[in-house]
Structure 1
Amino acid sequence: MKAWQVLAHGEPEKALSLSEIPAPEPGPGQLLVRVRAVALNFPDVMLCRGEYQIRPELPFTPGVELCGEVTAVGDGVDQARVGTRVIGNPALPAGALAEYALMNAAEAFGAPDSLDDAQAAAFHIAYQTAWFALHRRAGLKPGETVLVHAAAGGVGSAAVQVAKAAGATVIGVVGGAQKAQAARELGADLVVDRTAEDFIGVVKQATGGRGVDVVFDPVGGAAYAGSTKCIAFEGRIVVVGFAGGTIPAPPLNHALVKNYSILGLHWGLYKVRDPASVAAAHEELVRLADQGVIKPLISDRIGLDGVVEALTTLGAGGTTGRVAVLLP
């Protein structure tokens, strides 16, 4: 089968090679899936660089999110799953950027019928992250105001939709006019282009000086620092990631004086510590998708040969929404 392989750590254009390798075989509790679509994620770039929390032995196939069709199952897995369309995270090192991939059966979920392959591939990580950040960690209530950083990005675009579905008012922060338009189309009530205006002042003006109840921050750095200046009394800042490249070192006396909470989210831990909650979130998200309330923003659909260029653009923060790799 064809597969992208990381032969040596580095930027995608140096690390990746399109190779012909044997198809993997499912072990106990696993599924072999024919990959139909892959949603590219920032962790794919980090895997190439060797900077992700998981470091598979070289060589390996990256790609952490897919939609595929089950073609075979390992011991202990119901044969009825063969032929079904599933989404989720592949079992590295047999990642998604290949014609076939392995998945742990317990972590493979039914693909929503309302979404095509590209949309379904992008439905798992970002929407689960947004759901757990806003509902499980922040306890979002209808009528509250949510500030979403990188609101036109992969996980930020999901957070905008999940927050709107919960009855919140959403202020989205983006970088550039094109991304601002995308955030508006996603449903953000107010969009701030950080390249043209200061989001702190806009937020304070829009909330009458009160600030926002919840901050969804996958960026870190200046985004986090600015959020602490426009968070409301008893507000919650959910730290999701550091795509901006700078990990904040917050002065905790500020959180004490202003009476706000700083919450971390490592969604992957729920798969280990509370898998039932992941399955329950999936059911609720599918319900919202089938109602047409949420739908992944797919900005580009590319073939397997376009992966290196797309990951390079993604790593530089140049993508809007999600880039999906479609396989025949």
Structure 2
Amino acid sequence: MHAVVLHTFGPAENLRYESVPDPEPGPGQVRIAVKAAGVHLIETTMRSGATGGMTPPLPELPAIFGGEVAGRVDQVGPGVDPSWIGRDVVTAYGRPGGYAELAVADVTSVHPIKAGYEAAVAMVVTGVTALQFLDVAKLTPDDVVLVTSAAGGIGRLIVQYARGLGARVVGAAGGAAKVAAVRDLGADLAVDYDQPGWAETVAEELGGRAVTALLDGVGGDKARAAFGLLGDGGRYVTIGNASRQEFQPDPHTVEERGLTVTNALMLLLSEPNTRPDYEVRALAALADGTLTPAVQTFPLAEAAAAHAALESRRTTGKVVLIP
């Protein structure tokens, strides 16, 4: 089969499209003919060889990234019901990774799907993470919600969810195209946070109402500006760090104004594994139309270009590779 293999940590161009042996399913496993494979931002960090913080341990090389796999079962291992063959499935635990034409997974980790491969592979991790963040944020119809990095895979789902609740939603993203995408999602206000004075524009448009819930996916100076829009008693929830720049709210300000500050990323890492329940919820939300992910596709052979685009924040929605 063909796969994208990393032999040396470093820049995106180190990802090489090459022929490798076909994987064989072991006991309790199925083999999936991959139709769509998700790309995660953390994989770009791991590919570079960076360590520390919330980065998972680096893999042994050579490595094939991408656990998010959707496709059709073409073979089963010992002890697995043959009726799985021919079924469309999705999993978050493909091995080797989904940057390949074939992957294997434990049958207990796969979910049958009826939706398209690309949407399903977007929801099995990105949708799960969005729902986990939303459970932390505890949004209500009375909230004024500000979402930064709102055109990203997670941000778009949060905007949809908040609008579905009836909350007032402000989405902030970088560049005219991304702002238009956020506006199309139904955000009450979509702003370009690459433009000077964007926070003042939000404050003016809100007409005296303060933001009550900030879900920040970008960090750095943009997070600092967004934080300034929070009203007393508001909630600041960290859901990402696309800028790779830190922002830590001043503890005295937090205490004096009765703000709640939660790093949802760290919280989810420290809690027991509840992923299977969330996977079912995310795929159900996709099936009933509650949440619809946006997907930007790249051919599998162009995985390096996908990584480069993701790192430079030139993508909109979930990045998916198509073999």
Relative to the length of structure 2, the TM-score reads 0.89
Offset, 1:59: 0.5
Q: Which residue of 2 aligns with 1:292?
A: 289
Segments of 5+ residues of structure 2 without an aligned counterpart are: none
Match of 1:89 in 2: 92
1:302 aligned counterpart, secondary structure: strand
Indicate yes or no: 2:68 matched with 1:71.
no
User: Which of 39, 57, 60 is the matching residue for 2:60?
Assistant: 57
Alpha carbons of structure 1 residues 304 and 241: separation in structure 2 relative to 1, 3 Å: same
Distance 1:213 1:104 in 2: 42
**1:87–1:121 CA contact under 8 A, matched in 2:** yes
Equivalenced residues, count: 319
Residue of structure 1 equivalent to 2:6: 6
SS at match of 2:243: coil
1:309 is aligned to 305
Match of 2:246 in 1: 247
Contact 1:239-1:264 at 8 Å conserved across structures = yes
Q: Which one-letter code corresponds to 1:309 in the other structure?
A: A
Are 2:264 and 1:265 equivalent residues in the alignment? yes
**Which residue in the other structure is 1:117 paired with?**
117
Change (3 A) 1:268 1:12: farther
- Tell me the TM-score normalised to structure 1 length: 0.88
The aligned amino acid for 1:320 is T
Q: Is the Cα contact below 8 Å between 1:204 and 1:230 reproduced in 2?
A: yes
My pick for the range that moved more, 101-110 or 153-162, is: 101-110
Distance 1:32 1:271 in 2: 31
**Structure 2 counterparts to residues 216-231 of structure 1, below 5 A:** 216-231=215-230
CA deviation vs aligned residue, 1:40-67 (integer Å, no higher than 9, x gap):
2212212211233131100110124221
Over aligned residue pairs, what C-alpha RMSD do you find? 2.4
- SS state of the match for residue 242, structure 1? coil
Percentage of matched positions with identical amino acids: 30
Given residue 290 of structure 1, which amino acid in structure 2 is its aligned partner? A
What are the residue-to-residue correspondences of 1:1-328 with 2, within 5 Å?
1-13=1-13, 15-51=14-50, 52-74=55-77, 77-91=80-94, 94-111=96-113, 113=114, 115-134=115-134, 136-266=135-265, 269=268, 273-275=272-274, 278-298=275-295, 300-327=296-323
How many angstroms apart in 1 are the aligned matches of 2:98 and 2:267? 17
How far apart in 1 are the matches of 2:60 and 2:303? 21
What is the distance in 2 between the residues matched to 1:252 and 1:271? 22
| Contact 2:29-2:105 within 8 A present in 1 as well | yes
Whole-angstrom CA distance in 2 between matches of 1:271 and 1:118: 29
Kept after mapping to 2: 8 A contact 1:69/1:84 = yes
Partner Cα distance (1:33, 1:179) in 2: 34
What whole-Å deviation, never above 9, does each CA across 1:146-193 have from its counterpart, x for those lacking one?
111111122211221222233322110011111111111122121011
CA deviation after TM superposition for structure 1 residue 108, in Å: 2.6
